[in-house]
Amino acid sequence: MKFSIYQISPLLMLLAASTALMILGTASPVFAEKNKTRVLLLGASVGQEWEVEGIPKRLGDSRFQFEAVQAWQFDKTAALEEALMRPKRKFKPTKTYLKGFFEPSPLPPDAIVIKECAAYFPGEMARYKSLIPKWVASIKASGKKPALATVVPVTSEHAIRKPGRIEAIREFNDWIKEYAAAEKLPLVDLEAALRKDAKGRFLKAEYTSGDGLHLNRKAYDVLDRLLLDASAEITGTEGR
Least confident span in 33-42, 165-174, 189-198: 33-42
Mean pLDDT computed over 82-101: 73
Mean pLDDT computed over 163-183: 98
Mean pLDDT of the chain: 86
Q: What is the pTM of this model?
A: 0.82
Instruction: Identify the residue with better confidence: 91 or 39.
Output: 39
Residue-level pLDDT at 240: 59
123, 125, 126, 132: CA torsion to nearest 10? 110
- Domains of the chain, start order: 34-153+163-188+216-235 (3.40.50.1110)
Mean pLDDT computed over 222-236: 96
Buried b (16+ CB within 10 A) or exposed e, 74-93: bebeebbebbbebbbbeeee
**150, 173 in Cβ contact below 8 A?**
yes
Question: What is the share, in percent, of the chain residues with pLDDT greater than 90?
Answer: 72
Residue-level pLDDT at 104: 79
What is the rounded distance in angstroms from the CA atom of residue 73 to the CA atom of residue 18? 28
DSSP H/E element including 164 = none
Q: Which of 42, 40, 111 is nearest to 73 (CA)?
A: 42
What is the rounded distance in angstroms from the CA atom of residue 226 to the CA atom of residue 231? 9
| Tens digit of each residue's pLDDT (9 = 90 or more) over 4-24 | 544 445 555 455 444 444 433
